Amino acid sequence: MLQHRGWFRSGLLGTYPLGTDHIGCDVLSRLLYGARVSLGVGCAATTLSVVVALLIGGVAGFVGGKLDLAVQRVVGDLSPGAAE
């Protein structure tokens, strides 16, 4: 059964949210497949930064004293807009 190619490109109510290309392939799946390395690096960097921040903040908060003050000063100096 032949189907009208314009129907595929229109993306019938979320069937193909970004439509299809000239050969009928889903554009969203091709976009995600092409961006998989960038998405992986972004997710890994975010996860690593959260883990490091939790470890440093947890140790500084647990030990307290001068270490806590030093971590607060470093984070305050690195934060944009904190000097206001």
Residue 5's contacts (CB-CB under 8 Å, 6 or more residues apart) are 24
What was the pLDDT predicted at 59? Answer: 95
φ, ψ at 26 (rounded to 5°): -65, 125
Residue 59's contacts (CB-CB under 8 Å, 6 or more residues apart) are 67
Q: What is the spatial distance between Cα 56 and Cα 67, in angstroms, rounded to a whole number?
A: 10
- Give the side-chain half-sphere CA count within 13 A for 24: 5
What was the pLDDT predicted at 22? Answer: 84
What was the pLDDT predicted at 11? Answer: 52
Query: Across the 84 residues of the chain, what is the mean pLDDT of every consecutive 10-residue run?
Result: 49 71 87 92 97 95 94 89 64
What was the pLDDT predicted at 41? Answer: 96
